Chains A and B, each alone.
Chain A
Amino acid sequence: MRSPLIFSFVLAVATALPAQVRNQPAPHKPAPHEKVTRQALSPRKGVPITNRDQRFALDVLQAAVSVSVSDPQDRLRVLASAISVASPIAPALAKQWSREGARVEAELISSGHKPDVSVLALGTVDCKAASNFTDQITPANVPIAEQALIGVAANCGPTAKNAVRVKADAAMHQGIVAPRLMMALMSALGPKTAWSQQTFVQLFSSLPEAKDNSAEAPNFAAMYANMAAEVDKETARDAGAKLLLWLGKVDPGGPRNLAVNITTDAMKKTLGEEAYQRALERDPLVRQTADTAGQPGEISRPEEESASALEAMRAQKAGDQSDALRDLPVSQRARQAAALGFAAGTAGDLAGSERYFDMAFSAADETWANRGTGQNAAAIVSEVCDAAAQVNPVKALARAQKLGEPAGQAIGMVAVARVVASKSAQ
């Protein structure tokens, strides 16, 4: 970490950066604290730049953010990653990048694209920028802005909450419902408020097209379960019946089963067994759906690929694993090779580590070049660069800068910065 190479890099990057980055406040290192002393630190101030590692990290971050990235999704990813590293060490810079991130996120949403990441959800965007963001959301785009709007409602004051509520109302009047946002607003504004009570009734009277919303079924059911005890029993009965009727049209599967189980449980608890049975008798279709309760249910979630550092530690002791890695699918090869490189490097086998990182970076590059919808190439690049930086941050940085795509380079550089910044964290 203290090698002349690093200082050469720092010098090179630092001279090319704006003065504001170099002119950090005078070092002030807070005393190590335990939980009992946490009041002594003022939240969100973070730790001032205290040492060369943090300065290096910040310089690399600046360089990463200045990489020209044309795809707005990629730009948003770079900014979100950089914000997450900068927040603890340079909150002002994180705020600045957050404002740009909010603007990029709003533009993506305006063009009908769901952001892959949300800087609004990170809670680092100031409330003025968050309000500007909210203003730009059209009712039709509320579902793709759902996570960001939940973040605004959670992190900002009554005016911002109200602005989000207005957007959610406008969407619902067009038959567009974002159930998690509605839950968040009802909780934030109070379940007993007139708005929450009226919205509950309206929402279950105008549920969206069932076939297109199978994955959201558990969220609608969760909202019903959250609010059923807060409304009068007749309202709870009618809303529950409407939800069951809607669930009857949802594609069969784990999410629907889970939603039916949640809804029937909540109806029984709220109405009592006898009133619940009477509610089912009012409509044979409602009864038919309710009768499917009890089947195993589970929410749908994307399959996650992972590599085990612990197993890599064991495997690399048994000899070279390169042949075994070669036939793995490219994304898995990237992660597994990175884990092996980390294991070999931290065990002192630097030559072996380099060999694995050659494979890991090559596979990460290939993953990025061939990435498709739903493939988290950014997470793979980040993981590979993170592992390499644990062994040798200078080499990792050089490798990151040689990745084929500018966005991949920037994300890799942020990962290296994160590792270097974390070395001096206390």
Chain B
Amino acid sequence: MPRYALKSYFPPQQKRASDDFRAAATTGYLIMELKKLCSLLLLLAGVFAVDHASAQTTISNIEQKTGWESCTVCAGAGGAGLPAIFSLQQSISSPSMDGSAMQFFLGGDTPYTQALWWRQLGAQGAAHNLKYDLYFYMTDPNSSQALEFDANQSVGGKKYIFGTECNLKETHTWRVWDTANAKWVSTGVYCPTPVAYKWNHLTWVFQRTSDNKVKFVSVTLNGATTYINRYYYPKSSSVNELNVAFQMDGNKYQTDYNVWLDKVSLIYW
């Protein structure tokens, strides 16, 4: 759902107007807001006319939920990498956006090793549209080889991997996972070194298309949206699941580093 910040549309100079003018402005403002609301409702009516059965579900603050799972060997190439040292801590007050962030650590002595964390969200077989939204914070982005932000859905005998990676050392681009061919593909879209000591806002939009493909729709980093518009085929699977995942990749020195996540949410319908 687009976020319509109604209050921000009221020009500041009107807010500072005299009482008389303020009353008139307020009436005008309300009319303006009603018109916007009507526009929004019209847009939504269009949406629901097409697909009234698909209610949108939001799972918020996933970083605060129990039940996160992890692995290191499975995070490597072919699911059989070398082990890294890794850990996870929840309810971190600093840094955090709201007093409760999740801290991930990766280190060890073996270069290019990784760790993957994920949280199952139930088998949401009806979900075709996914919006993975989160904030991440780093103190030393140069220590990371890559950061992965994934959603995985298995339904109807197929596995759809919405795998994305900000590749920080090789291509410096966003790469996406080609599920059927099990390989990373660069989107060519630049992924900048994340701003250090500051929260970075990331939103990935995915779709399981009506003809059963994995579609990467768009990525938004700190307010800048880039359309990706790439499709890949799924692979076979015997389970039913939906989860979100985060992976840290070590660099050639396997330098220790931390990443904090906050306000992790998945919206699906």
Contacts and interface: CB of A to CB of B under 8 A. Distances in A.
Partners in one complex: yes
Interface of A: 32-36, 38-39, 41, 43-44, 46-47, 84-85, 87-89, 121-123, 147, 150-151, 154-155, 180, 183-184, 187, 218-219, 221-222, 225-226, 258, 261-262, 265-266, 296-299, 301-311, 313-319, 321, 323-329, 332, 335-336, 342, 346, 376, 379, 382-383, 386-387, 390, 418-419, 421-426
A422 B81 CA distance: 30
27 contacts: A36-B81, A38-B112, A39-B112, A41-B170, A87-B190, A147-B195, A187-B139, A222-B95, A258-B96, A265-B94, A296-B99, A297-B99, A301-B201, A305-B2, A306-B3, A308-B2, A309-B205, A310-B217, A315-B46, A317-B50, A318-B50, A324-B42, A325-B43, A328-B40, A383-B226, A386-B225, A418-B189
A44 B195 CA distance: 19
Contacts of B205: 308-310
A342 B227 contact: yes
Contacts of A426: 185-186
A418 B173 CA distance: 11
Contacts of A218: 94-95
A314 B50 contact: yes
Interface string B41-70: 011011101110000000000000000000
B183 A303 contact: no
Contacts of A33: 184
Given A35-B184, A426-B186, 14 more contacts: A36-B77, A36-B112, A84-B192, A123-B142, A150-B196, A180-B196, A180-B198, A265-B93, A299-B199, A305-B5, A336-B43, A379-B224, A386-B225, A422-B188
B188 A318 contact: no
Contacts of A151: 193, 196
A333 B171 CA distance: 34
Contacts of B224: 379, 382-383
Contact of A323 (B4, B42, B94, B142): B42
Which 5 residue pairs are nearest across A and B when measured between Cβ atoms? A425-B188, A422-B188, A318-B46, A36-B77, A324-B42
Chain B interface size, as a band, is: 35 or more
Interface in B187-223: 187-190, 192-193, 195-199, 201, 203, 205, 207, 217-218, 220, 223
A307 B131 CA distance: 12
Contacts, number: 224
B150 interface: no
Nearest to A303: B5
Which of A35, A304, A382 counts the most chain B CB atoms within 10 A? Answer: A35
B39 interface: yes
Contact of A183 (B99, B185, B197): B197
A301 B199 contact: yes
Interface of B: 1-5, 8-9, 35-36, 38-40, 42-43, 45-47, 49-51, 76-78, 81, 93-99, 111-112, 114, 129, 131, 139-142, 145-146, 169-173, 183-190, 192-193, 195-199, 201, 203, 205, 207, 217-218, 220, 223-229, 249, 252
Nearest to A222: B94
B67 to A, nearest CB: 24
Contact of A306 (B78, B99, B220): B220
B43 A321 contact: yes
Contacts of A306: 2-3, 203, 220, 225
| Interface residues of chain A: helix, strand, loop or mixed (majority) | helix
Contact of A327 (B35, B129, B169, B228): B35
A413 B141 CA distance: 29
A324 B97 CA distance: 35
A329 B36 contact: yes
A85 B192 CA distance: 10
Contacts of A303: 3, 5, 8
| Interface residues of chain B: helix, strand, loop or mixed (majority) | mixed
Given A88-B188, A376-B223, A425-B187, A184 B197 contact: yes
A329 B5 CA distance: 10
B196 A184 contact: yes
Contact of B201 (A266, A304, A332): A304
Contact of A180 (B78, B146, B197): B197
Contact of B76 (A36, A87, A321): A36
B49 A327 contact: no
Contacts of B140: 154, 187
B46 A154 contact: no
Contacts of A422: 187-189, 228
Which of B40, B47, B114 counts the most chain A CB atoms within 10 A? Answer: B47
A322 B226 CA distance: 23
A183 B190 contact: no
A299 B169 contact: no
Contacts of A180: 196-198
A229 B141 CA distance: 23
A255 to B, nearest CB: 10
Contacts of B145: 38
A182 B193 CA distance: 20
B114 A35 contact: yes
Contacts of A328: 36, 39-40
Contacts of B226: 383, 386, 418
A323 B195 CA distance: 40
A377 B5 CA distance: 17
Given A35-B112, A154-B196, A346 B225 contact: no
B172 A88 contact: yes
Contacts of B249: 35
Nearest to B227: A390
A216 B46 CA distance: 43
B221 to A, nearest CB: 11
Nearest to A384: B225
Given A87-B190, A324-B39, A314 B98 contact: no
Nearest to B51: A314
A155 B142 contact: yes
Given A147-B195, A310-B217, A318-B47, A34 B98 contact: no
